Structure 1
């Protein structure tokens, strides 16, 4: 049954101070750990990739510790509020997904009696975020029972320090926070107000802290390889920054493998926008809406964006997560959909609650230089690597967007006469509301991009492995833009990179005559699959992001468009320098253009399942994951055994008819 949401008329605006937060400072000296926890696999980050890693590991009897900064598992489908599964039609029609993701879909349908209780139109499954957590956590508990594994769950927990020597993480120090007695519960304040406190060792007026030391579980039978493994499954690549392994952040420069990039030099400050989602409920009567004191600052940003989208019912039903009348057919024209009192919408809109900073003075995810400048790479200095002030602005921007939806009459992109008031809606907040917070915003922002590792150097990738635009983009790389803007040598290498297989007797006189393949790169070390469009929510040009007249950074959307069904190579998950760390989720080794596709729900699950299975295989064999790919492109027989295990377990590593001889996948959309 659906929980009854708590009606909240006010937006609890007093929670949001207009005073800028102070830049992070070094924390107090470390405390002696209060307790020690042992595990075979430490999963840092409880999002979908982290949950999938744990799921596969528990099914084979491993002891798994999961730390998560919020108190919900599931990331996108729960604590980030984006509980609308992003899927592509052909993959969905074949149900060609990892087994755990299929089970998740089945349990959603079992919970509600239908897969799409919200009858949203952007997805075939939109549901309540709090149910995303409940369903997924039950899946993990059931996997532990079925496989004989041990699940150790640490909510409200962050990693503060890593002990690294001999190219391995030997222990991790974490801080778990809980409210001081007689103070408000967790999730009363938004993230910006508690994040710096959460990363400090000392107790505060708000939180009591438990210091936890994670160490390997003793294994007398171990003969080689690592004692344990750590999975980086955070939303921003927090652990790869703390471990200080090579990584990229922001926009990559234009090269023949990323030819659509608009810049010549790397820009670490421009990442995709992040979003604080919220839920709103349609009401029978008009509601009283108090204008937030900061509304005028953000109002110049809000817009329906495009004329074809300029319709409130369309925006409401876009990610509608609860329908009071799910059995009544709705018209195919989204503008004409009926919204019933009691219907609930989750909002995630580009020119709405997306917040899109892109300059060194307001970027959310600190670059390595900024981490050094704030002391966060010093022992005990780690504070999460995020700018709290930008989080606060993102929170205010989201609250302002709700007010614009119900009371606004301006539109920054479409001009006057477009936006009308829609007062018959209320903002849902409270611990029993869809987002599970007193303030009504998601517990953590929906992150589309984080730090991305650079994979290990190899014979074919001397600078380090990375999945690039040319590996996945469904694009004509011989159109006028590339002909007019790329140097002849760059064009030559580009056409070589995207050329199709041709028979030895084919009459080809130059690279310009080589046919372009119509499929993604086939990776011999593939351990998972994904399919989604290259989809950008670009950073803004000026600072702050909400500045009047601001515009998206020029040229970023040039790389946007369709992508072929793609693979997840193991080389993209193994960072340099540390042998017992695997990366799952959106922080694997991709360029910023490829990352715009390697970020949605089923991909995250596939990457996490691959990480969990690879770790079990490495522990069983007494080897390091790098040993599975270090001789490529030479044949790696143990890698083939791992790939066989993944596929036998229902975790595909390739799409049907994947072959270098199959140059076209025109039927895939």
Structure 2
């Protein structure tokens, strides 16, 4: 199968990249492992994580268009909290014209399993349907890695970092003295539920005593509204990293088991204000997340492999203590691999460190990164350029930034009066 650009991974960054490319007239193949496009906004059931000024700044015109298609809620995390199914419908609507015209092909379910290189360029990526084991080879002029864990990086031999870097590598004040590749933020398996009359207690998990021994505390101030999307510290799975291909299935299963055990604890043992224990009226809502059991289709992966980039975003670049009042814009070089010529990151896999990566996983930021990657791939194809050429030529950077601005992307975040 051929396309001008292959976007591997259909989370928020992948959808944003595909949409930008399609609106530039490009033919795109978009792949996604799970049943819904949208990643953390849909299949992962992670409530929208936005700053308080999201309606006025920090987002792109395309992201605001998505938000307008999503009904406004009254969530505690952010204003646009909503049922994941609503976001899935909005994304489907955004992409529908391009699927109908044949310029967008979506392969679903599909996960990357191999890549073929031609020198420093990616020639093809092979994806596999996990249900049928059928494989499809995708050839393209550009490839966008929008997977949740940067899965194209090891497959293509693209240099990457994982875990915590040593302080000596980037001079970050808070980095450890010794690098720790295993120090990766925990994944979480979110779920949706509500509270109604009656006893809706699930079957006691067979491994409940194991997870109960961790003594995960009940959150002070916990409140049940009409619907709850649970993405709490107690769901953070610390049994191992889900980045490596071989260990991933086992860690995914354990993370989901931990989430199920925690929900059972809420139903049976959580302390109540009246002195009792357990909330048997809590009811899992699979209809909200597109599953039979009420747990999300996919785990929420907080930290990815990160490309070795032309520019690495360090603690000194983001910390107010380190940079004072100086403003900071994400450098284009953070999206450019040092060597690989036609591969771009579109999410948490940009050139950050373990310390700064946390700033690039909120929903609108992932979208912004994906959109910038899509625009860059289109710009390179329009002019017959490699991404490294654009990032190192001031005139080309200016031309690219002009296109971003015309598309409604803010190049600099305005100062906020405090």
Identify the residue that residue 120 of structure 1 maps to in structure 2: 75
Q: CA contact under 8 A between 1:251 and 1:271: conserved in structure 2?
A: yes
Question: Structure 1-normalised TM-score?
Answer: 0.59
Contact kept, 8 Å, 2:98 with 2:104, in 1: the verdict is no
Task: Give secondary structure in 2 for the equivalent of 1:72.
Answer: coil
Q: Quote the offset at 1:286 in angstroms.
A: 3.2
Q: Equivalent residue of 2:364, what SS?
A: helix
Equivalent residue for 1:260? 174
**What residue in structure 2 maps to residue 349 of structure 1?**
232
Describe the shift of the 1:425–1:466 C-alpha distance in structure 2 as closer, same or farther (beyond 3 A): same
Q: Is contact 1:161–1:172 with CA below 8 Å preserved after alignment?
A: yes
Q: CA deviation at 1:252?
A: 1.6
Aligned to 1:518: 325
TM-score, scaled relative to structure 2: 0.93
Give the one of 147, 158, 179 matched to 2:111.
158
Larger CA Rg, structure 1 vs 2: 1
Instruction: Find the aligned partners of 1:419 and 1:143 in 2 and give their Cα distance.
Output: 55
**Equivalent residues in 2 for 1:433-444, closer than 5 Å:** 433-444=287-298
Aligned partners of 1:405, 1:472: CA distance in 2, in Å? 38
Counterpart in the other structure of 1:474? 320
- 1:348 offset after TM fit, Å? 0.7
Closer/same/farther in 2, CA of residues 270 and 96 from structure 1, 3 Å limit: closer
2:373 to 605, 608, 611: 611
Tell me if structure 2 keeps the 8 A contact 1:302–1:401. Answer: no
Number of the residue aligned with 2:406: 648
- Alpha carbons 1:469, 1:593 under 8 Å: kept: yes
Q: What displacement does 1:285 show?
A: 2.5
Q: Does 1:392 align with 2:270?
A: no
Equivalent residue, structure 2, for 1:290: 203
Higher alpha-carbon deviation: 419-428 or 604-613: 419-428
Say whether 1:241 aligns with 2:154.
Answer: yes
2:57–2:413 Cα contact (<8 Å) kept: no
Q: Is the 8 A contact 1:54 1:64 kept in 2?
A: yes
Partner of 2:333: 571
State which of 304, 308, 311 in structure 2 corresponds to 1:454. Answer: 308
Corresponding position: 1:426 with 2:283: yes
Query: Hey, what's the Cα distance between the residues in 1 that align with 2:387 and 2:8?
Result: 18
Separation in structure 2 between the aligned mates of residue 288 and residue 276 of structure 1, nearest angstrom: 19
Per the alignment, residue 48 of structure 2 pairs with 85
What per-residue deviation string (whole Å, max 9, x for no partner) do you get for residues 267-293 of structure 1? 111211111111112112233443211
1:418–1:395 distance in 2 versus 1, CA, 3 Å: farther
Deviation at 1:143, TM superposition (A): 5.7
- 1:67 aligned residue: 31
Shift of 1:409: 4.1
CA RMSD of aligned residues (A): 2.2
Q: For residues 235-272 of structure 1, what are the alpha-carbon distances to aligned partners after superposition, in whole Å with 9 as ceiling and x for unaligned?
A: 001111211221111112224642112x2111111211
Matched positions, count: 416
| Counterpart for residue 277 of structure 1 | 190
Q: Distance in 2 between matches of 1:617 and 1:64?
A: 15
**Residue 417 (structure 2) aligns with:** 667
Question: Shift of the alpha carbon at 1:576?
Answer: 2.5
2:201 and 2:241 mapped to 1: Cα distance?
A: 35
1:20-60 Cα offsets, whole Å, 9 max, x none, are xxxxxxxxxxxxxxxxx110010000000000000011112
Q: For 2:194, what is the secondary structure of its paired residue?
A: strand
Which of 102, 105, 128 matches 2:67?
A: 105
Higher helix share: 2
In the alignment, the residues of structure 2 paired with residue 609 and residue 61 of structure 1 have an alpha-carbon distance, to the nearest angstrom, of 15
Note closer, same or farther for the CA distance 1:363–1:605 as it changes in structure 2 (3 Å cut): closer
Change (3 A) 1:104 1:584: same
Q: Which runs of 5+ in 2 are unaligned?
A: none
Distance 1:615 1:467 in 2: 21
The residue aligned with 1:214 is 138
Q: Does 1:363 align with 2:241?
A: yes
What secondary structure, in the 3-state scheme, does the structure 1 residue paired with 2:127 have? strand
C-alpha spacing 1:273/1:418, structure 2 compared with 1 (3 Å): farther
Q: Contact conserved, 2:13 with 2:367, CA < 8 A, in 1?
A: yes
Query: Contact 2:33–2:109 at 8 Å: present in 1 too?
Result: yes
Q: Is the 8 A contact 2:6 2:28 kept in 1?
A: yes
Contact (CA 8 Å) 2:201, 2:282: kept in 1 or not?
no
* Aligned residues of 1:407 and 1:422 also touching (Cα < 8 A): yes
Q: 1:639 to 1:616 in 2, by over 3 A?
A: same
